[in-house]
Structure 1
Amino acid sequence: LAGSVALIVAARSDWTTAYIAVSFFGLFAVITGLVMGEPARGQEPKPLKGPVAAAIAYVSPLAEFFKRQGALVVLLFVLVHKIGDTLANLTLRLLFEDLGFTNDELAIYDVGLGFWALLAGIFVGGVLYARLGMKRSVLISLVLMAVSNLAFAGLATVGHSTWAMAGAMGFENFASGIGGVC
C-alpha cells in the first residue's frame, strides 16, 4: 500500500510529498510498538563478553556450515539460482520507463497486483513444498522463475500494454512467492 501511495502521490505532486505521505504508514508501526511494548522472552540471551566472543559468535555458524558435505555446491546453487532474478529486477524500472508506463500504472499493476500475486505464490509454494518435498518444489520454482523473466521479454516486444504488464508482474511475483518459500 505504501509503495502504491508513493507512486500515485509522486505522479500528482513531487517525491518529497510522496515520502512524507508514506512516512505516515511507519507511524502506525511506531505507535503499535510503543503501546504493545517489548514481548516477554522465554530465555534471556547470554551477553557477549568482548570483541573476541562477538567474532566467535559471528563466525561459528559459518564455519559449521562450510564443514558440511556439499556446502560449496549449496552456496553456488543459491548464487546461481538468485542472480538471474536479481539482475532482472535491477533493470525492471528501466524497462518500464522505456515503455512509457506512468507512476499510476506502476502503482496498480506492479505494486498493487504484484503484492496479491506474491501472497498467492507464497501460499502455493507452501502447498508445493508440503506435498512434493524440497527437491521437486525447488525445481518447479526455478522453471517458473525463468519463465517469469521471459514474460518481461514478451512485454518488451509488445510495448506499452497494461494487460501485458499486469500479466508479467503478476506472474513474476507469483513465481517469486513460490521460489521464496521453496
Structure 2
Amino acid sequence: MDKVRYMLYKLMSRTLTLEEFETWLYNDEYVKNNLPSNGLILELLSINLRSKHALWELEKFCFENFSREECILEVVRSNCEKIRDGAGDQAIGDFISNIGRYYDWDEGYCLVSQVYWLGDEWSMAQEGYCSKSEVRRDILEFALVLLEKLDQNLDVKVLVDGIELSGTGREFTLNKTKKWFEFWK
C-alpha cells in the first residue's frame, strides 16, 4: 500500500499528472497482483479518472484512507523541492497554489496559513505593488528553511506551528510590504 500512497501523494502535490497516475495505476504490478484481495485498490479503481472531478475524488479517497497531515506535508515537501531546484515564477506559483489549496480557517495549520499569506505577497508583487525579486527571494528562503525543518522530522509540529525564521540568520521581509487591506489607511 506504500506505493499507492506514495503515488497519490505525488498526484496531490502535482508532481505527477492525472494521466501519469492513471497509466501507473492500470499498469503497476503491485496493483494488478493485489486487486482481488485489497478493498482499497478496488475502491481506487472505481474512481472515474476521466471525470472533471477526478482530482477531487482522489483527494477525498486519499484523506479518507491515509493521514491528511502526512499528505499535506508531502505536498509541502515536493513543492519546496521544486522551488529549491528552480525558483522560477512558475515554480513559485505552483508552490503557492498547490499548498494554498489546503488553507482552511478552521483547521489551524499555521504552515498552510503562512503559505497562503506568501501567496498574497506574491500576488501583490505580480501586480507591481512591491518588489518581485524580494518576494521571490523570501519565498525561496521560506522553502529552504521549511525543507530543513522537515528533514529534522518535525513534520506534524511544523504543519501545526508553522516555521519561525528568527534566529536562522536569514532575513524574511514578508511583513515589510502592505497587506491588501492597508492600502486604504
- With normalisation by structure 1, the TM-score equals 0.32
More helix by share: 1
Bigger radius of gyration among the two: 1
- With normalisation by structure 2, the TM-score equals 0.31
